[in-house]
Structure 1
Amino acid sequence: MDISTYATPIPSRQSAITRRLAFAVGLLFIAGVIAAGGALFTIAKHLDSEDVHETKFYAARALDNRITASKNYITSYAYWTTAFEHLSGDVDVGWAYTDQNMGKTLFTSDGYDGVFVLDRERTKYALVRGQLLQSDLSAYLQLPATALIDQVQSQADLTKPISTYSLFEGWPALVTASAILPNDERPMGDSRKTSVLVFVDKLTPTKLRQLGSAYSLTNLTLALDETLAGSVQKVPLDSTGYSMVADLER
Structure 2
Amino acid sequence: MVDENDKTTIKEAIKRRKREVYKPVVPEMQLGFVHHNVDCIGCRACEIACKDKNGLSAGPRFRRVQYVEGGIYPDVYAYKVNVSCNHCAEPACLPACPTGAIWKRADNGIVDIDSTLCIGCRRCEATCPYGAPQFIPDQNIVSKCNLCVDEIEAGRKPYCVMACMMRVLDVGPIDLLRANVQETKAIGPGEEPVRAVKNFANPELTNPSIVFVAHSKGKVES
TM-score, length basis structure 1: 0.23
Q: With a CA cutoff of 8 Å and minimum separation of 6, indicate the structure with the bigger relative contact order.
A: 2
- Larger % of helix: which? 1
TM-score, length basis structure 2: 0.25
